[in-house]
Amino acid sequence: MRTAVSLFTGCGGSDAGLSTCGFEVLMANDVLAYAKDVYEANMPETDYRLGDIRKIKSFPKADLLVGCYPCQGFSQAGVRDPSRSINYLYREFDRALRQIKPKAFIVENVAGMRRADSIHLYENQLRRFRLAGYKVKAKVLSAIDYGVPQERMRLFFVGIRSDLGETYEFPEPTHVQLSSSDDTRPFVPTLKDAIGHLPEWPTGEYDEQPFHWYYLSRNRRRGWHEVSKTIVANSRHVPLHPISPVLTRLHTDSWKFSSDAPARRLSYREAAVIQGFSDRMKFPDTCGIALRYRVVGNAVPPPLFAAVARTIPDIW
């Protein structure tokens, strides 16, 4: 059995992807208690250590190390402040990498890390990982290209230990959208394919706050035969469910509903399914609705992570 250690794990998007590739996750870690609750409700076999990674002094040996460290300073939807201390947690991943010395590692983060104001942090990570003894590749991937019905761009670093003599190549796209009907690859699932079987009005599972001016500053709706807008961690800003009326543009940064028909945001369960989790995913009743959205929106889509892990050469 191939083994892995998972850091900055959240509710387990990376690890759900690894499980489909035949990995046993020996240890996971995060600071958010509800993320641990959700993880353990769905993947109870893993040793999930709740708390600040800086207080973890030793890690189990494993074949693969993965990490999705926080991205608030780089995210298009976040504060976008590269000077924030949270942006330097990659140093803790580097510490674990040097201690464990796995055969390979995978890091996932937002594509915004490559913007001009944070490119120095991107380059410093590449330098650190290479100095740790790894051949490293980095690339921004679109989740749509790997069968995830969502507009989501993510940056990946993948490294293979230099002494193994192998080089990583990122996976070719496995899916196409409906507009590319001349391609032989399978179509990306639409919202109808992904969530059309779920209840239209799942009481208690979606944020019912009013649609304030900021929410209506952009078109947050996609139709049944499209893919979703990006699933975000803030429940108030989650995209509209396709059952909602079409949004009409009034002028720059101002939209309105085309009718008075009922409208709602996607539920946290629908958001999870769009991310690539099972529609039977368990959400323990240990918190309010906002945290359920948060752990889902912060997760990496499992199918995307699996595609990256699956193309690591046979070094195990």
CA distances to 131, 213, 228, 262, 279 from 243, rounded to whole Å, are 52, 21, 13, 8, 19
Which residue type, as a one-letter code, is found at position 166? E
Instruction: Give the separation between CA 184 and CA 40, rounded to whole angstroms.
Output: 39
178 or 230: whose pLDDT is higher? Answer: 230
Does residue 139 form part of some domain? yes
Does residue 23 form part of some domain? yes
pTM attached to this predicted model: 0.93
Does residue 38 form part of some domain? yes
Which residue type, as a one-letter code, is found at position 295? V
- pLDDT, residue 179, reads 76
Does residue 249 form part of some domain? no
Q: Tell me: the pLDDT tens digits for 195-213?
A: 999 999 999 999 999 999 9
The pLDDT mean for the chain works out to 93
Instruction: Give the separation between CA 11 and CA 138, rounded to whole angstroms.
Output: 24
Does residue 146 form part of some domain? yes
Does residue 280 form part of some domain? no
Neighbours of 92 (CB within 10 A): 18
Determine the structural domain holding residue 99 and report its residue range.
2-174+300-310
Does residue 121 form part of some domain? yes
Which tokens belong to 268? 């946290």
Q: Which of 262, 127, 285 is nearest to 201 (CA)?
A: 262
Partners of 178 in beta bridges? none
Q: Is the pLDDT of residue 239 over 70?
A: yes
Q: Tell me: the pLDDT tens digits for 250-272?
A: 999 999 999 999 999 999 999 99
Q: What is the CATH number of the domain that holds 165?
A: 3.40.50.150
Residue 21 annotated to the active site: no
In the chain, % of residues over pLDDT 90: 86
Number of domains in the chain: 1
Q: Judge whether 156 and 314 are in contact, CB under 8 Å.
A: no
Alpha helices in 101-206 (DSSP H): 119-131, 191-195
Does residue 294 form part of some domain? no
Instruction: Give the separation between CA 2 and CA 65, rounded to whole angstroms.
Output: 11
Given 11, 21, 68, 71, the catalytic residue: 71
- pLDDT, residue 84, reads 52
Lowest-confidence segment of 62-66, 115-119, 145-149 by average pLDDT: 115-119
